[in-house]
A and B are shown apart, each in its own frame.
Chain A
Amino acid sequence: MISMETLERVGRLAELEIPESQRKAARRDLEKMVTFVDVMKELNVRNVEPLYQVTAERAGMQNVLRDDVVEESEGREALLGNAPKRRGEFASVPKTFA
């Protein structure tokens, strides 16, 4: 039911490598998972509204807006300190356009 093409497409979308040697097992694994959740299809949900957020309806929550005011934010050094590679005040990343 899950083809090799589907597996490859999903891997590409997720930016995960699936090495050649693991492809068969990964395909079977994904198929098992999908079959497992397929049981939901027994239910007739045609006229059911999806429920994305559980407390919004009940608590009468609305979008939270706030004024656009400049606030002190966390230290630049602390944030840059987590960058895998930095150059001066910047996080250094690989070339985006070849």
Chain B
Amino acid sequence: MKILDLTAVELAGRIRRGEIDAMEPLEAVFDRISEREEQLHCYLVLDRDGARARARELQKRRSAGETLGLLAGVPVAVKDNLCTKSMRTTCGSRMLENFIPSYDATAVRNLRNADAIILGKTNLDEFGMGNTTESSYFGMTRNPWNVERSAGGSSGGSAAAVASGECYAAIGTDTGGSVRQPASHCGVVGLKPTYGTVSRNGLIAYCSSMDQAGPVTKDVRDSAALLSVIASSDPKDATSLQRDDLSFPENIPQDVESLRIGIPTDDSGKGLDPEIREAVWSVATALKERGAILEEFDLGITKYVVPAYYTIACGEASSNLERYDGMKYGLRVSAVGLHETYRKTRTAGFGAEVRRRILLGTFALSEGYYDEYYLTAMKVRRLIKDAYDKAFLKYDVLIGPTSPQIAPKLGEAGMDPLASYLADVYTVPANLTGMPAMSLPCAMHSTGLPIGVQLTAALFQEKTLLRVGAAWEQIRGQRHEG
């Protein structure tokens, strides 16, 4: 077995036991990066020297008899909207082209404390606003399965890096599907935890009431391992939760006997690729054959999720991005007078999609329109949550597509922003309601691109997602062998 084929958990185990030197997988990753990175463009920052120094340090500690952490020597990539001390953090924006954080995001510090190696920072849609990684100021990321296609977004760099072997695992962030959708498009596993599970300290804010970091990994077991590492209750994030249910056994239980699975029928009808529908049903059917109980049901509210999401996300974004005024950090375009400086700086520093969302958000929050738009969206959010709460009285897990389409051709999404927003229809409910959700590879499309299936569970039920995910992985593995 080639060293790059190991999962993060397998690799950490071998390094801990001294079967592999931490430098070996790191050099294998660097070789892969040399082969593919020029074309794929997963990374915005690559810290070869820092990573090598870290690998040497870990080896030294091991030699001295220390037991290394859960992610011992695992080369991990971090999305470039999470602050990394002394390592440039840009959010894919000209605004932060030269920004060097003075501290690590809590999630990043947790990775370091588990003895992971931080390789560098991955590409993203500017400030996380997009679903193709084309709005990055530093250029797009390409899909490793087909370089004419998008890697998805906004954590496209993280997903493409995991899929191509340019890292063993990655952290992404998910405000409306930005971990799950690129994971789906690149054929890897993406998990958005329950809101508040991973501290937002050091996660550069887009929409604070929905932003949540999560792992992008090769398989479900890696997802569980990374989740247990990055999750923490943090005095620096008042919305972070104290959770004691996130340490998982090495072998995730795969039993789905009597598990109640709901499949929402209300998928807005149009737009769902029939091949994806079929792939999702084949997952559900396979789980049923293992003893799960399957039922279709009508959520009844799907039509409103994307409009509510964009109203809230853009509103919070317009407020969060006010901080970029060219004064204390970031770009400054000098002009005569304070307001002229603000305007020139912000107009030059933000790309078209970011400016578009700030304008909509400012409108939705402005005097005379607040009640009509922002407040209405907050009320619709309640109705959406109620619909899911009701569903989870009957079901343990919901199954559906992650995205209505496979990875789009590069250049297509920019043509029609609204059509692109609608592609988020399956992922945004988990952000609006805080629920955990996970995308898993489930089949190959006739175009040769991966299809993802999404599992959604009630608040705090990551365990259920991992269990069902592990069951599906086992079924799929057996089919491949058979």
**Which residues of A approach B to under 8 Å, CB–CB?**
2, 6-7, 9-11, 13-17, 26, 29-30, 32-34, 36-43, 45, 48-56, 58-59, 61, 63-64, 66, 74-75, 78-79, 81-85, 91, 93-96, 98
Asked whether, in the complex, the Cβ of A48 is within 8 Å of the Cβ of B383, the reply is yes
Asked whether, in the complex, the Cβ of A34 is within 8 Å of the Cβ of B360, the reply is yes
A59 to B382, CA, bound (A): 16
B contact residues around A91 at 8 Å (CB): 327-328
B102 in complex: contacting residue of A6, A78, A84, A98, CB < 8 Å: A78
A42 CB to nearest chain B CB (Å): 8
A contact residues around B330 at 8 Å (CB): 82, 84
Q: Would you call the interface of chain A mostly helix, strand, loop, or mixed?
A: loop
Known: A17-B343, A55-B196. A36 touches B434 (CB 8 A): no
Asked whether, in the complex, the Cβ of B304 is within 8 Å of the Cβ of A40, the reply is yes
**Which residues of B approach A to under 8 Å, CB–CB?**
86, 98-100, 102-103, 194-196, 209, 235, 238-239, 241, 303-304, 307-308, 310-311, 318, 322, 325-332, 334, 337-339, 341-344, 346-347, 350, 355-356, 358-360, 362-364, 366, 372-373, 375-383, 385, 417-418, 421, 432-434, 459
Asked whether, in the complex, the Cβ of B418 is within 8 Å of the Cβ of A32, the reply is yes
Asked whether, in the complex, the Cβ of B356 is within 8 Å of the Cβ of A16, the reply is no
Asked whether, in the complex, the Cβ of B385 is within 8 Å of the Cβ of A17, the reply is no
B contact residues around A98 at 8 Å (CB): 337
Q: Would you call the interface of chain B mostly helix, strand, loop, or mixed?
A: helix
B269 CB to nearest chain A CB (Å): 15
Asked whether, in the complex, the Cβ of B196 is within 8 Å of the Cβ of A79, the reply is no
Return the chain B residue nearest A92 by Cβ: B327
Asked whether, in the complex, the Cβ of A55 is within 8 Å of the Cβ of B195, the reply is yes
A29 to B127, CA, bound (A): 20
A36 to B304, CA, bound (A): 10
B363 in complex: contacting residue of A10, A17, A38, A50, CB < 8 Å: A10
Return the chain A residue nearest B86 by Cβ: A78
A14 in complex: contacting residue of B86, B344, B358, CB < 8 Å: B358
A59 CB to nearest chain B CB (Å): 6
A33 to B422, CA, bound (A): 12
A contact residues around B341 at 8 Å (CB): 94
